[in-house]
């Protein structure tokens, strides 16, 4: 069955009217397979849908995954309505399959889900415009604020210990030891870089244990391309990729946005001399984020924002390195060294943040004192 036939079949399962007239692959995520499909009804009306095959190696239980997503989007819709917003554009709306579930298991045992595609939006993988990046900071801050009164205990942990950097480090040590891919000799400098930063890994998780940092309901994957911008206003209006919304640290959400969006190069740029932290983008995001989330953060959280950017970038680098050593079993890759290339960009960015750390802290202090 080719992909169009597959999508036609899913159209029936999710009661989508009409015939599928086009399918395109959306390549930006590293985990699930995502398609945009347009269906045309007999009366000529066309509507687009986002169709995803859930990666069952990463998300072991689609029932729990979709339970979380439905609860979270329902909560967001209540908040959006209170603010007289548009629930069809400011959050995702998933379709029920004929069996009443928000996903469908096909004859191969693979799980699929469908939501409406939001028209009049765009997303970006890179950014140079500080105003747009600031808007994404406002949007993620707003997202966190809307979830501030959401009961975290109602959510399943879709990926246990997702941002426990200490456990990520332990997984790296195991991968180095086992060397399943036989590639260990090809990443000596990267292993050395990682081993030299072990002590950073547990700084934030230790503070959670000591109750110095609060657990909140957070997004956990705040990449720039997980925001949809309104094509007319350039405002970040909808946060997508809700698979990892779970109790976590606001700090990891802030940091991950910086890791991806304030890098002067792509996450998989082969020429690492192009990688650096764009300090103006860093400032813009900090200001945008604090303008919406700032009042709900504790003083300690706010003071740790610069550190969180360094730490999550390091964590992401060790995750890519671990996957490279394990033989590319987690992230989608397009070529053999892809995970190693990604690891190198992350570590180059960490090194640059270490150099610019005093400046990052100064920007943070100034932004905190002015909101
Ligand atoms: C994955 O799905 P995507 O591409 O938005 C990963 C994130 C990583 C990111 C690195 C569930 O996100 O944790 O930070 O790649 N998602 C999962 O680009 O592992
Ligand atoms: Mg994702």
Ligand 1 pocket mutation pick from 27, 28, 29, 31 by most atoms within 8 angstroms of CB:
31
299 and 168 co-located in one domain = yes
186 and 99 co-located in one domain = no
- CATH number, domain of 140, equals 3.90.1200
CA of 296 to the centre of ligand 1 (A): 26
Sequential DSSP letters for 7-31:
HHHHHHHTT--SEEEEEEEE---SS
From CA 89, how far away is CA 93, in angstroms rounded? 9
From CA 199, how far away is CA 235, in angstroms rounded? 39
In the numeric block, the tokens 């899913």 are attached to 10
CA of 352 to the centre of ligand 1 (A): 22
364 and 315 co-located in one domain = yes
148 and 248 co-located in one domain = yes
Q: What is the pLDDT of residue 333?
A: 98
Q: Which helix (H) or strand (E) holds 78?
A: helix 62-82
139 and 285 co-located in one domain = yes
Tokens of 72: 């979270």
Give the model confidence (pLDDT) of 308-358 as tens digits.
999 999 999 999 999 999 999 999 999 999 999 999 999 999 999 999 999
From CA 330, how far away is CA 31, in angstroms rounded? 8
CA of 29 to the centre of ligand 2 (A): 6
Average pLDDT, stretch 20-30? Answer: 94
pLDDT of residue 371 exceeding 80, the answer is no
270 and 363 co-located in one domain = yes
Alpha-carbon dihedral 43, 228, 80, 71, rounded to 10 degrees:
90
| Nearest CA owner, ligand 1 atom 18 | 30
Work out the pLDDT band at 370, boundaries 50, 70, 90. Answer: confident
From start to end of 8-155, where are the E strands? 19-26, 33-40, 46-53, 104-105, 111-116, 121-122
343 and 252 co-located in one domain = yes
Domain encompassing residue 44: 3-60+93-119
Contact 16, 35 (CB under 8 A): no
Q: Which residues contact 92 (CB under 8 A, 6 or more apart)?
A: 69, 73, 115, 116, 238, 240, 242
Give the model confidence (pLDDT) of 144-167 as tens digits.
999 999 999 999 999 999 999 999
Mean pLDDT (the chain, rounded) = 97
pTM value is 0.96
Atom of ligand 1 nearest to the CA of 225: 5
Tokens of 255: 């940091």
Ligand (nearest to CA of 55) = 1
CA of 44 to the centre of ligand 1 (A): 38
| Nearest CA owner, ligand 1 atom 5 | 29
Question: Distances in Å between the alpha carbon of 132 and those of 26, 45, 67, 140, 364?
Answer: 22, 33, 32, 13, 19
Atom of ligand 1 nearest to the CA of 159: 11
Work out the pLDDT band at 46, boundaries 50, 70, 90. Answer: very high
pLDDT of residue 294 exceeding 90, the answer is no
- 183 in a domain, yes or no? yes
212 and 320 co-located in one domain = yes
From CA 136, how far away is CA 141, in angstroms rounded? 8
CA of 32 to the centre of ligand 1 (A): 10
- 262 in a domain, yes or no? yes
From CA 40, how far away is CA 248, in angstroms rounded? 41
- Which residues are registered as beta bridge partners of 246? 218
Q: What is the pLDDT of residue 283?
A: 98
321 and 277 co-located in one domain = yes
Ligand 1 is surrounded, with C-beta below 6 A, by 29-31, 58, 221, 223, 226, 241, 243-244, 267, 316
- 77 in a domain, yes or no? no
Give the model confidence (pLDDT) of 117-143 as tens digits.
999 999 999 999 999 999 999 999 999
Atom of ligand 1 nearest to the CA of 256: 14
109 and 196 co-located in one domain = no
From CA 66, how far away is CA 156, in angstroms rounded? 10
Q: Which helix (H) or strand (E) holds 171?
A: helix 165-178
235 and 286 co-located in one domain = yes
Q: How many domains, in total, are found in the chain? A: 2
Give the model confidence (pLDDT) of 79-123 as tens digits.
999 999 999 999 999 999 999 999 999 999 999 999 999 999 999
110 and 184 co-located in one domain = no
Q: What is the pLDDT of residue 123?
A: 94
Identify the DSSP state of 242: -
Give the model confidence (pLDDT) of 239-259 as tens digits.
999 999 999 999 999 999 999
Average pLDDT, stretch 303-312? Answer: 98
- 284 in a domain, yes or no? yes
């Amino acid at each position: 069955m080719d992909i169009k036939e597959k999508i036609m079949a899913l159209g029936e399962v999710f009661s989508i009217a009409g015939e599928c007239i086009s399918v395109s692959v959306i390549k930006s995520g590293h985990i699930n397979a995502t398609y945009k499909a347009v269906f045309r009804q007999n009366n000529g009306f066309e509507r687009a849908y986002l169709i995803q095959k859930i990666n069952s190696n990463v998300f072991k239980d689609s029932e729990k995954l979709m339970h979380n997503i439905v609860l979270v989007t329902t909560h967001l819709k209540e908040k959006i309505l209170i603010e007289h917003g548009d629930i069809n554009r400011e959050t995702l709306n998933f379709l029920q399959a004929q069996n009443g579930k928000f996903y469908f298991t096909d004859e191969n045992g693979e799980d699929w889900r469908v939501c409406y595609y939001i028209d009049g939006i765009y997303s970006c993988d890179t950014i140079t415009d500080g105003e747009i990046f600031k808007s994404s900071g406002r949007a993620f801050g707003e997202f966190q604020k809307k979830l501030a009164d959401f009961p975290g205990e109602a959510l399943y942990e879709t990926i246990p210990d997702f941002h426990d950097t200490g456990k990520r480090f332990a997984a790296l040590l195991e991968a180095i030891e086992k060397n399943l891919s036989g590639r260990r000799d090809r990443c000596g400098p990267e292993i050395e870089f990682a081993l030299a930063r072990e002590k950073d890994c547990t700084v934030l998780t230790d503070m959670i244990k000591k109750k110095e940092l609060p657990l909140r309901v957070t997004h956990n994957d705040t990449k720039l391309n997980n925001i949809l911008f309104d094509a007319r206003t350039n405002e970040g209006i909808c946060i997508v990729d809700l698979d990892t919304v779970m109790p976590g640290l606001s700090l990891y959400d802030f940091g991950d946005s910086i890791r991806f969006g304030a890098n002067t190069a792509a996450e998989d740029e082969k020429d690492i001399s192009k990688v650096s932290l764009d300090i103006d983008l860093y400032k813009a995001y900090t200001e945008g984020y604090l303008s919406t989330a700032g009042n709900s953060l504790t003083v300690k959280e706010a003071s740790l924002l610069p550190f969180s950017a360094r730490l999550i970038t390091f964590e992401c680098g060790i995750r890519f390195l671990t996957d490279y050593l394990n033989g590319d079993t987690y992230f989608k890759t397009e070529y053999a060294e892809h995970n190693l290339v990604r690891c190198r960009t992350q570590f180059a960015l960490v090194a640059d943040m270490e150099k610019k750390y005093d400046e990052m802290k100064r920007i943070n202090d100034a932004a905190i004192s002015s909101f």
